[in-house]
Amino acid sequence: MIEVNQLTKRYRKVLAVDRLTFAVRPGRVTGFLGPNGSGKSTTLRMLLGLNRPTSGSATIGGRPFQQYGTGLRHVGALLDADDLHKGRTAQAHLAALARGNGLPRRRVREVLEQVGLTDAARRRVGGFSLGMRQRLGIAGALLGDPPVLMFDEPINGLDPEGIRWARELFRALAAEGRTVLVSSHIMSEMEHTADHLVVIGGGRLLADEPLAQFAARAAAAHVTVRTPDPAALARVLGEPGTGATVAASGEGELIVNGLSTVRISELAFAHRIMVYDVSMHGGSLEEAFMALTADSVQFRGAGAGAVVNDAAHAGGNR
């Protein structure tokens, strides 16, 4: 069980984490979500005693992490796949970690096999791809067979097979009764992995609820209809009895809220209006996540249009 209580971290002028309070329970995968710079990694670092909180507390199993002597036996954590020395082999890296915690040499072999790096065990880590380094980091977290596990954006750099493997692993670890916290800035990663979500933005807690409850936020779906006669269709769909709202969207396209695709097709057919396409949009967890964190996104890129323009300029200069 992980407990964070009124946790706050201030770096000079930046308030990275702001009175954060939540708990992570065993037996399920908890997704820790937030946009870039929302304070996820800082929170994990404070949990692991790497950074000191400005105020508040963070405990694992009821006590601050620093009070555990052999950390690997209590908490397994992958913060950054690059937190290792590139000159060492995978085996040497893990062997040193295992030895420091008094773990048998056999564990190194076991976890390397578990993450699928047995064949690369004697290769230097410097030559590893990001996906392989993520696997090595996961292996390090599993070394001490700990009841609590934390992974900071572990999916980055994994190939599709690796992503599926990691999901299955996290679910299997949780099914064994462990506490599993997996951070990410991409909702769709969590959709198939997490049972529970903790969402933060700007260092503050935005949501702490089961995945199903979070999914309910995603109800705001809409339908787009393409038709050669948008004015006529808009009149039909927008009649008072339907309860729908209709808006034009570009050439020959309507956005409809409050009607199903089936009902729209029926109405169009009844009024002999031709439609080319009726499709459902939105309602994804991703969009719900975006809407929830919209106010706290720090590093917003230029609009897509600007990017295209820049690209055109760059092309023109050549």
Binding residues (CB under 8 A) for other proteins: these are: 45, 48-52, 61, 63, 65-75, 77, 79-80, 82-89, 92-93, 95-97, 99-102, 110, 113-114, 116, 140, 145, 147, 165, 168-169, 172-173, 176-178
Pick between residue 71 and residue 202 the one whose CB is nearest to other proteins. Answer: 71
Give least dist CB 198 to other proteins, A. 21
With a CB cutoff of 8 Å and minimum separation 6, the contacts of 134 are 78, 81, 154, 155, 156, 157, 158, 162, 166
Pick between residue 170 and residue 289 the one whose CB is nearest to other proteins. Answer: 170
Give least dist CB 252 to other proteins, A. 48
Listed in sequence order, the DSSP H helices in the chain are 40-47, 90-100, 106-114, 130-142, 160-175, 187-191, 211-216, 230-237, 261-270, 285-293, 304-317
Burial 113-138 (b: 16+ CB within 10 A, else e): eebebeebbeeebeebeebbbbbbbb
Give least dist CB 221 to other proteins, A. 33
Give least dist CB 31 to other proteins, A. 20
Task: Report the alpha-carbon distance of residue 178 to residue 108 in Å, rounded.
Answer: 21
Pick between residue 41 and residue 296 the one whose CB is nearest to other proteins. Answer: 41
Give least dist CB 74 to other proteins, A. 6
Give least dist CB 210 to other proteins, A. 22
Coil, helix or strand at residue 139: helix
**CA nearest neighbour of 141 among 151, 127, 132, 130:** 151
Give least dist CB 238 to other proteins, A. 51
How far is residue 176 from each of residues 110, 132, 168, measured CA to CA in Å?
18, 25, 12
Pick between residue 97 and residue 268 the one whose CB is nearest to other proteins. Answer: 97
Coil, helix or strand at residue 65: helix
Pick between residue 52 and residue 318 the one whose CB is nearest to other proteins. Answer: 52
Which residue's entry shows tokens 């006529």? 232
No. of helices (H) and no. of strands (E), the chain: 11, 13
Pick between residue 66 and residue 298 the one whose CB is nearest to other proteins. Answer: 66
Give least dist CB 199 to other proteins, A. 25
8 Å CB contact between 26 and 178:
yes
Tokens of 225: 């209809």
Pick between residue 177 and residue 228 the one whose CB is nearest to other proteins. Answer: 177
Pick between residue 103 and residue 237 the one whose CB is nearest to other proteins. Answer: 103
Phi and psi angles of residue 220, each rounded to the nearest 5 degrees, phi first: -70, 75
